[in-house]
Amino acid sequence: MISVAITRAAFSPEAELAGFAARRDTGSGALASFIGYCRNKSADSAVEQLELDHYPGFTEREVERMTHGVGAKHGVGEILVIHRVGTIAAGEAIVLVAVASAHRAAAFAAAEELMDRLKTDAPFWKRELGPAGARWIEPTAQDYARREEHEE
């Protein structure tokens, strides 16, 4: 049960997590998850909102492909990904990744790798808007290094 949603609407990560947990295989004793929020401050300035651009059709397909790839690599079949696009207010959730598995190591590894790949390989473009104006955010050298660690 791999589920990927790209959505403009605000969502409750906890409600989605509860639904995912309720649908999981009852042999899956481990559920690792990650929620990424729009922060209210960046390195140097206040953030009022985030704007996430995507490529309709292509983005959905790429995130689905990435999710299935990570699931197959770690032997986990239960993954939920929800990723917002459009305008996101400070404090709101941008992304939820949840992985259920019989084994906690696989659940953690898959959730972390999926987040690392979303940061560098998923077709999204984002900018922070604050009192100082807008600023495009691109992956850091550290983000690319983390992604590289997952390559064989």
Nearest to 98 by CA among 12, 34, 19: 34
- Half-sphere exposure at residue 72, Cβ-oriented, CA atoms within 13 angstroms: 6
For 33, the token pair is 């998850």
* Residue 55 binds other proteins (CB under 8 A): yes
Pick between residue 86 and residue 91 the one whose CB is nearest to a second copy. 91
In whole angstroms, the minimum distance from the beta carbon of 56 to a second copy comes to 25
* Residue 35 binds other proteins (CB under 8 A): no
* Residue 21 binds other proteins (CB under 8 A): no
Task: Give CA–CA dist 92/22, Å, rounded.
Answer: 24
* Residue 146 binds other proteins (CB under 8 A): no
Query: What sign has the CA pseudo-torsion 53, 138, 113, 152?
Result: positive
In whole angstroms, the minimum distance from the beta carbon of 118 to other proteins comes to 4
Whether 75 contacts 84, CB under 8 Å: no
CB neighbours (10 Å) of residue 102? 14
**Site mask, other proteins, residues 83-122, x = CB under 8 A?**
x----------xx--------x----------x--xxxxx
Site residues (vs other proteins, CB under 8 A)? 36, 52-53, 55, 57-58, 61, 63, 83, 94-95, 104, 115, 118-127, 136-139, 143
